[in-house]
Structure 1
Amino acid sequence: MSLPDRDPLSPPVAAAPLGDRIKARSSQDRAVGLFAVFLRSSWVWLCIVLAVLTITIGSLAPNMGPPPTFGFDKIIHASAYGGLALLLACRLPPWLAVCMAAGLGGGLEIAQGSIPGRLGSWGDFAANGTGALVGVFVRVLLQKLMRRS
C-alpha cells in the first residue's frame, strides 16, 4: 500500500486539536474518548494524591459544625471513596483499588476515635466500602465502553 504523493515543498500539516483527533459518533463516545486520553496521562497519579489528601484532611479535622443531616454524611463518604477507587482502578487492578480505598477508609475511621469531636463508625466504614465498589464498577464499565468504541 503506497502513501499518497505530497509536495515536499508544501508546509507540514499541523496536528489537529485534541478534541478533533478523537473521532466520535456521539457525545457519549466523545466523552469516553476524552476519558481515555486522561487515563493515559500522568495526571491520574496527581489526582489520586490530591484525593487521598482531601479525604484524609476532611476525615481527621476536628468536627466543629452542627450534626450532619441523617444519611447525608453516608452519601459524602460513598462519593469520596468511589471517586478515589475509580482513580486507583485507572492505574491498579480493580480488586487492589477497592482494597486500598476501603483500607484507607477503615484506617481513618479508627483514627477518628482519637480526635476531639469525631467518632469512627461502622456505618461510615460500610459507606466507604460501598463507594469503593461502585467506583471500581464504574471504571470497569467505562473500560468496556472504551474497548467497544
Structure 2
Amino acid sequence: MNPALVPYPPVVRRAALVIAVCLAVLIGYFSLVPPGDAPAPQISDKIRHFAAYATLAIPVAMWFGPGRLAAWAMTAVYGGGLEIAQALAGTGREGSWGDGAANALGAGAGVLLIWIIARTRRA
C-alpha cells in the first residue's frame, strides 16, 4: 500500500472525528442563524466559505485517511446540503451556487493538504 494513504492511528482518528463534528456543528449554526444575529468578519463571503470548509475537511480527511475521495465528498455534500437548507429555512439567508462551489473547493483544499502532509511525512 502507498505509505501516503495509510490511515492515522486510532487515537488520532478519534480526535479528528470529535473535532470534525464540533466544526460541522459550528458551521451549521452560523450558516443557518439569521444574518443579523451572527457576527461576520469583514472578508469576502466566498473566502469565508472556502476557509470554513477547508478547515472542516482537514479533520474529516484525517478520520477517513489521507487521499480518500470520501473525505472530500462528505464535506462538499455537507456544504451543499447547508446551502439548500439556507434556501428552505426561511431565516433570511439564501443558498447560492457560488457558495456551494466555494465550499467544495475549500473541502478539496483541506483534503489535498492532508494528503500532501501525509505523503511528505511518510515518504
Match of 1:100 among 74, 84, 87: 74
Greater Rg, structure 1 or structure 2? 1
Identity of aligned residues (%): 36
CA distance in 2, matches of 1:42, 1:111: 28
Corresponding residue of 1:137: 112
Q: TM-score, normalised by structure 2?
A: 0.80
Aligned length: 112
How far residue 70 of structure 1 moved from its aligned partner, in angstroms, is 9.3
Stretches of structure 1 that go unaligned for 5 or more consecutive residues are 1-35
Q: How does 1:67-146 map to 2 (within 5 A)?
A: 72-93=44-65, 94-113=68-87, 114-146=89-121
Q: Which has the higher helix share?
A: 2
Q: How does 1:55-74 map to 2 (within 5 A)?
A: 55-64=27-36, 72-74=44-46
| SS of the residue 1:40 aligns to | helix
Alpha-carbon shift at residue 64 of structure 1 (Å): 1.2
Q: 1:105 corresponds to which letter in structure 2? A: G
Give the Cα separation in 2 of the matches to 1:71 and 1:133: 21
Alignment root-mean-square deviation, CA: 2.5
CA displacement, residues 15-50 of structure 1 (integer Å, 9 cap, x when unaligned): xxxxxxxxxxxxxxxxxxxxx78x736321110111
User: Cα–Cα, structure 1 residues 50 and 90, in superposed 2: closer, same or farther, change >3 Å?
Assistant: same
TM-score (normalised: structure 1): 0.66
Q: Which runs of 5+ in 2 are unaligned?
A: 1-7
Task: Name the aligned partner's letter for residue 98 of structure 2.
Answer: G
Letter in 2 for 1:74: K
Contact 2:33 2:91 in 1 (8 A): no
